[in-house]
Amino acid sequence: MKKNVINKPLNFEDTLYILNERIQILYDFLSLNLSEDLFHEKNMDDMDFIDKILDILLKNLMEDAYLLDRDEQLDNLSETEWQFSQVLTKFMSTSNDLHHSSLSRDKFFALRDRSAARRKTAEDSQIKIEKMSDVSVISEDEMSKLLKRF
């Protein structure tokens, strides 16, 4: 039985960088004259992997409200989700019958829907962070009292 254990803290920037590279490889695949039949299973595995890691990243960002660069990472995650959705859309629009089988199409739609939901969650969370940062944490009177001590 596999355990979902991460032994050290996530490095969001590096993880998103690698995911973006994998997404670019999938995108490039569609521009090349390769046999889709040979690569279909690998491409589907890669998309499942990307989907799983994006879920993990969003979960970690949502659970750690005090992460120093959380809003920046939410923005980066949202951008990666957009890139992923572009690849999924491009795969869905290919003319190969293999990609248009009901199983593959259903899987693409599910991946695209999950990606859109994660992107919306990340963007909504950013809006909440921006609203929270507009609220003064300490009043002017409290600040002046604190500064008078020094």
Best CA proximity match to 82, nearest among 125, 15, 13, 27: 27
Determine the pLDDT at residue 1: 38
Determine the pLDDT at residue 92: 82
Per-residue pLDDT of 87-121, as tens digits, reads: 998 888 875 544 456 667 788 889 999 999 999 99
CA distance 24 to 22: 5
Determine the pLDDT at residue 76: 93
CA distance 104 to 63: 32
Question: Could you give the angle at the alpha carbon of 88 between the alpha carbons of 86 and 91, nearest 5°?
Answer: 110
Determine the pLDDT at residue 94: 72
- The mean per-residue pLDDT over the stretch 145-150 comes to 63
Is the CB of residue 119 less than 8 Å from the CB of residue 82? yes
* 78 has pLDDT over 80: yes
Best CA proximity match to 23, nearest among 77, 91, 83: 83
Per-residue pLDDT of 18-52, as tens digits, reads: 999 999 999 998 888 888 778 888 888 999 999 99
Determine the pLDDT at residue 107: 86
- Banded pLDDT at 149 (limits 50, 70, 90): low
Is the CB of residue 79 less than 8 Å from the CB of residue 142? no
Is the CB of residue 54 less than 8 Å from the CB of residue 19? yes
